[in-house]
């Protein structure tokens, strides 16, 4: 009943808002993004080296660290907020994005005067890695409420040669 959820009955979080129980799909997706990015890290550092030599490679590696930390921090904040209330989850989703943008700005600004900083390499790899990981991960994220987070593994059974697959 509505009155039970407003009074903070069973299954209600702070302020009586309903809680979503179960595993945190945010953390699962972020960890999967980090895992899938590992084979591409040398290519991104090579891209940075092509743009700016050794300084570009170091700047590219720093950009990758910033991106992966950003995604993991996002997942941690969203998982934390989801355990408290849906209203807090929405607020963290909106304002957490702005805060994380500020943290990226601070991370870049902190080393702006470093001798190894190459802003072109850092910027290109920062943008390419953010967008690339998001678009790459779209292939693996489930949009079903039955399987929140990642799509369940499928078992592909190949049909014998010349046989038709049922429709």
Q: Residue 147 gets which letter from DSSP?
A: S
How far apart (Å, rounded) are the C-alpha atoms in residues 153 and 119? 40
Burial class (CB in 10 A: 0-12, 13-18, 19+), 75: buried
How far apart (Å, rounded) are the C-alpha atoms in residues 118 and 116? 6
Amino acid 13: pLDDT? 53
How far apart (Å, rounded) are the C-alpha atoms in residues 158 and 80? 42
Mutual angle of helices 86-110 and 41-82, in 10-degree steps: 140
Amino acid 156: pLDDT? 60
Backbone angles phi, psi at 91, to 5 degrees: -65, -40
Amino acid 29: pLDDT? 76
Q: How many Cβ atoms from other residues are within 10 Å of residue 71's Cβ?
A: 22
Amino acid 3: pLDDT? 39
| Torsion angle of the four alpha carbons 159, 160, 164, 167, in this order, in degrees rounded to the nearest 10 | -20
Q: 141: which 2 tokens?
A: 């994220």
- pLDDT per residue, tens digit, the chain (167 aa), is 443 444 455 555 555 555 556 667 777 778 878 888 888 889 999 999 999 999 999 999 999 999 999 989 988 998 898 888 888 989 999 999 999 999 999 999 999 999 999 999 999 999 999 898 888 777 766 565 545 566 556 666 444 555 555 55
Residue 34's closest CA among 149, 162, 134, 153? 134
Residues 6+ apart with CB under 8 A from 129: 37, 44, 63, 64, 67
């Amino acid at each position: 009943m509505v009155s039970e959820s407003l009074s903070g009955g069973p299954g209600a979080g702070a302020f009586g808002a309903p809680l979503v129980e179960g595993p945190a799909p945010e953390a699962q997706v972020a960890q999967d993004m980090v895992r899938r990015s590992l084979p591409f890290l040398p290519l991104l550092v090579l891209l940075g080296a092509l743009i700016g030599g050794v300084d570009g490679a170091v700047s590219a590696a720093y950009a990758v660290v910033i991106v992966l930390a950003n995604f993991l921090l996002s997942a941690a904040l969203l998982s934390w907020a989801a355990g408290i209330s849906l209203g807090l989850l929405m607020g963290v989703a909106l304002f957490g994005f702005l805060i994380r943008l500020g943290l990226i700005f601070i991370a870049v600004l902190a080393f702006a005067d470093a001798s190894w900083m190459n802003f072109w390499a850092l910027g290109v790899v920062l943008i390419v890695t953010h967008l690339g990981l998001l678009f790459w991960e779209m292939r693996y994220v489930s949009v079903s409420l039955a399987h929140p987070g990642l799509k369940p593994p499928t078992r592909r059974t190949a049909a014998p040669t010349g046989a038709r697959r049922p429709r």
